[in-house]
Amino acid sequence: MLGVGGVLAGLLLEGGRIRDVAQITAALIVLGGTIGAVMITTPLAILSSAVRRLPQVFFDRGPDEHAAVGEILALAAKARRSGIVSLEEDADEISDPLLRKAMTLAIDGADLQQIQEMMELEISMLEQRGEAEARVFEAAGGYAPTIGIIGAVLGLIQVMKDLANIDEVGRGIAVAFVATVYGVGSANLFFLPAAGKLRARLQDLIRVRELIQEGVAGIVEGLNPKLIRLKLEAYVPSASSDTSDRSAKRHGASATTAIAEG
């Protein structure tokens, strides 16, 4: 809204009118051509998955790292107190599917290396699917400006048919270039930013998956829950920031003391 509003506000400040760029034919050419090109480029399953991801560009709140850490620490405390087999009753109630699958394997006596390989495969497939979905919007951002130029050329062809009426020629040229505005605008105000946002969401999700992987390894190895907490805090941005701030303050205090003593 801010991006489109800024462009329209600039148009109005230059003395233009909203209806100058409100051309249904230009929108039809650019959006129809872009969607058609993307459909040829992208397999239908990936295209459908990317469209379902579209609400995450605006509304997704991201994964809850704190909830994942709390759940892992609760499992780690119980496993250290009563053994990992005692988690069998809790396994079905685990909310995260990757954590539930890994803990089920651990309870069944699977080797840690096998569990790690399974989790790494899950993370790798998640990354591949997410990257493929982001590339759908990236491809649209590449096609849209070119389709906009095609729309402008089609408009100019119609203008050339009426060169005798100079007033209509000027008006027709102005209308013809609206398709270029739609192509460049949709690419840079929506398609490419959407691809970037989906990649950012994907990185957040992968970070939580890696957090879960580290937590499961600690539980299987029987580590102290406090040590597991310290490891997992590295994956939580706020926790890392707080730790860095405290570390910076300690180093700053040490430096001040050393200067005073000197």
Cβ proximity of 183 and 143 under 8 Å? no
Secondary structure element (H or E) that encloses residue 63, with its range: none
What pLDDT score does 260 carry? 37
Tally helices (H) and strands (E) across the chain: 12, 0
Tens-digit pLDDT string for the chain (262 aa):
888 888 888 888 888 888 778 888 888 999 999 999 999 999 999 999 999 998 888 887 777 888 888 889 988 998 888 888 888 888 888 888 888 899 889 888 888 899 999 999 999 999 999 999 999 999 999 999 999 999 888 888 877 777 667 666 766 777 778 889 999 999 999 999 999 999 999 999 999 999 999 999 998 888 888 998 988 888 887 644 444 444 334 434 433 333 233 3
pLDDT at 238: 64
> What pLDDT does 246 receive?
44
Prediction pTM value: 0.78
Nearest to 148 by CA among 106, 177, 107, 118: 177
pLDDT at 43: 93
Residue 156 CA to residue 153 CA, distance in Å, equals 5
Which DSSP letter does residue 55 get? Answer: G
Q: Which amino acid is at 262?
A: G
DSSP code of residue 111: -
